[in-house]
Structure 1
Amino acid sequence: MSIIYRTSFVQVRHDPAGATLETEWLDFANSEQLRSALTESLRLGRQHRVRGWIANNTLLRTIRPADQDWISQEWFPEFAKLGVQRMAIVESQDALNRMGISTIMQRATAHTPFATQYFAEAAPARHWAASTGTTTPTPTK
């Protein structure tokens, strides 16, 4: 995986062999930073025609309710158009972030025509997102 985008709060990696993109949050991101990074990630996902997505939220902290709404209502409909088949979510160490992600995913159900699985660590998430199997896994949550 090579880093194709980086700021002080997020880095985005692309794995051409597995056709995956990973957003790894490195620190707290305010609303403007979060939205900008997610928008850029969408652009990169389109450009690289990814089929697997890893949302590495390990170090991401609380997402404000207004940003949760934006992600559910604005970002996810665009994300769904990418044709992603698998979304792996590496859970945050922050309990409030985990609750926020859960809320976002519940609201975005109509825009998630792909398999989603939650992970405690990045390595198995990367492996799963890059796999081409057609079975839908049982979520670990």
Structure 2
Amino acid sequence: MRWQWQGPLSLLRFQMALERLLLFSRQNKARQWLVDISKMPPLGNDEQAWLSQRWVAQFARCGIQNLALMLPDDLHNQLAMEHVLDSGRCYTQVNVQFFGDFPAALDWLSKSSDDVQRLEHEWFAARLAATRPGAAALLPDEWLD
């Protein structure tokens, strides 16, 4: 599963978005995440505490085996994410790698160059479909106000 952070959210919407990602992952039996948090706004103390104290335990039950994280542009967020991941080590044995570029992250998650091409094609098609009028989104528009 691939997802990309798009902008700032209130604490409640932040929590709802990340819980929805877990639900979607469980429903679709996702085992790998490629996460682009490069444009995520700086995480506040409340977000960090919630991630470390509640969300990580839920994430562990989700069954993700490999997590490729695109490095945040903000050093604060990189350190915050490392702290959250460290706090979650008691819950999960997920393989985590940080990457500075998308091709390297995708290569790490893939078994072959054929997998890379297939996934890039699937994601391009899904992104194109998501931009069409009436396309269903993972998050309802009212959450993004």
Shift of 1:111: 1.9
Task: Name the structure 2 match of 1:51.
Answer: 31
Q: Distance in 2 between matches of 1:35 and 1:91?
A: 21
* Secondary structure of 2:62 counterpart: coil
Q: Distance in 2 between matches of 1:85 and 1:115?
A: 6
Question: Which fold has the larger relative contact order, with Cα–Cα distance below 8 Å and residues 6 or more apart in sequence?
Answer: 2
Matches within 5 A, 1:1-141: 21-131=1-111
CA-to-aligned-CA distance 1:56-79 (integer Å, 9 cap, x gap): 111012111121111112111111
CA-to-aligned-CA distance 1:60-109 (integer Å, 9 cap, x gap): 12111121111112111111112211011111111211121121112111
What is the alpha-carbon root mean square deviation over aligned residues?
Answer: 1.7
Task: Give the TM-score of the pair, scaled to structure 1.
Answer: 0.72
Q: Distance in 2 between matches of 1:86 and 1:130?
A: 10
Task: Give the TM-score of the pair, scaled to structure 2.
Answer: 0.70
Shift of 1:112: 2.7
* Secondary structure of 1:101 counterpart: helix
* Secondary structure of 1:108 counterpart: helix
Computing the radius of gyration over CA atoms, which structure comes out larger, 1 or 2? 2
Q: Which runs of 5+ in 2 are unaligned?
A: 113-145
CA-to-aligned-CA distance 1:27-71 (integer Å, 9 cap, x gap): 223312211110110010001101101221110121111211111
Shift of 1:115: 0.8
> Identity over aligned residues, as a percent?
22
Report which of the two has the higher share of strand: 1
